[in-house]
Structure 1
Amino acid sequence: MQQKLVYSVANPNSQYGGSASSTGGWGNPNSSTYAQDTYARITREMWADYQHRFYPYQQQYLSLAEGNQLLDEQLGRIGTNVQNAYGTAAQSREMMNQRYGINPGGMQQQSYQQNNAMAQALTTAQAKNATRENAEDRYFSAMEGNGHRAMSLNQVREGT
């Protein structure tokens, strides 16, 4: 008879708790309830594994999805990122003007600064609105049990 090393839930030496033995403690293979006992033990071990390894991460994921912590952090970064991007673009434009010897007058400079400020405000608003929409989608996806990645791939396929 071939011997197998099997871990049971009651094993203190296994990663899920339980003892290893040559028979595995699975009972008598000739018993009329051997199959259901084996299935029940495997199910208990799978449940113990889920509770031990996956459940804490699931709880952490759900608490992050339900809370506003990540959203608030991202919204705070958006303003800085947009401001840095527009500042870099303005600096590049000034350097280009200097290279070509262009010196915009007061009205031109004021017009550029006003247009730049409006574009920056619009970009910030659009980025924050998109972030809020994505956070809401992520929340609903988490509550439905769907992965956000799968939803995003479907949106890409549909072109939205």
Structure 2
Amino acid sequence: MGWASDTFADLTRQQYQDWRERFYPRLKTLMEQASGEALLDRQLGRANWNTQNSLRSALSAQTNQMARYGTPLGQEAQDHRLGLRTALAHAGAKNGIREAARSRRFAILTGGASGIREQVSVGGDR
């Protein structure tokens, strides 16, 4: 009783209890969001909307530019190209989001050192 080690042990217990009450619930929520599927699903939904809007504005800009020169666009070819661009943009955006989610999960599991690990030459393969 009254020893410095007892006082230090009490302080450590109080700090840990404070951390568990104030910070751990928020940390747990963030970890569940980062490792769950809900965040990925929301991002994939936004990707559809974003790629549609960007392609729509690109098509509008191209139509306006061609109209300045008085040249009409071939509608069939334009529709086909737009369909291909849309599919490619959707696939690229969604694949990028999935890869980022996979990297985030891997970083969580490994303690966030995945960037360093990728930069290190493993087995002389550089």
Compute the TM-score of the two structures, normalised by the length of structure 1. Answer: 0.65
Q: Separation in 2 of the partners of 1:133 and 1:98?
A: 40
Q: CA deviation at 1:59?
A: 0.9
Q: Separation in 1 of the partners of 2:110 and 2:14?
A: 26
Q: Does 1:63 align with 2:32?
A: yes
- Paired residue secondary structure (2:23): helix
1:135-146 equivalences under 5 Å are: 135-146=101-112
Q: CA deviation at 1:116?
A: 2.0
Q: Separation in 2 of the partners of 1:151 and 1:115?
A: 39
Which residue in 2 is equivalent to 1:80? 49
More helix by share: 2
1:3-82 equivalences under 5 Å are: 28=2, 34-82=3-51
Q: CA deviation at 1:118?
A: 0.7
Moved over 3 A (4+): none
Q: CA deviation at 1:151?
A: 5.6
Q: Which moved further from structure 2: 58-67 or 84-93?
A: 58-67
Query: Which one-letter code corresponds to 2:99 in the other structure?
Result: E
Q: Does 1:110 align with 2:79?
A: no
Q: Whose relative contact order is higher, 1 or 2, with alpha carbons under 8 Å and at least 6 apart?
A: 2
Which residue in 2 is equivalent to 1:121? 87
More strand by share: 1
Deviations 1:67-86 (A, max 9, x none): 21010111111111101110
Q: CA deviation at 1:145?
A: 3.3
Q: Number of matched residues?
A: 119
**Gaps (5+ residues) in structure 2?**
121-126
Larger radius of gyration: 1
Deviations 1:112-141 (A, max 9, x none): 221221121111101101111111111222
1:101 to 54, 58, 70: 70
Which residue in 1 is equivalent to 2:97? 131
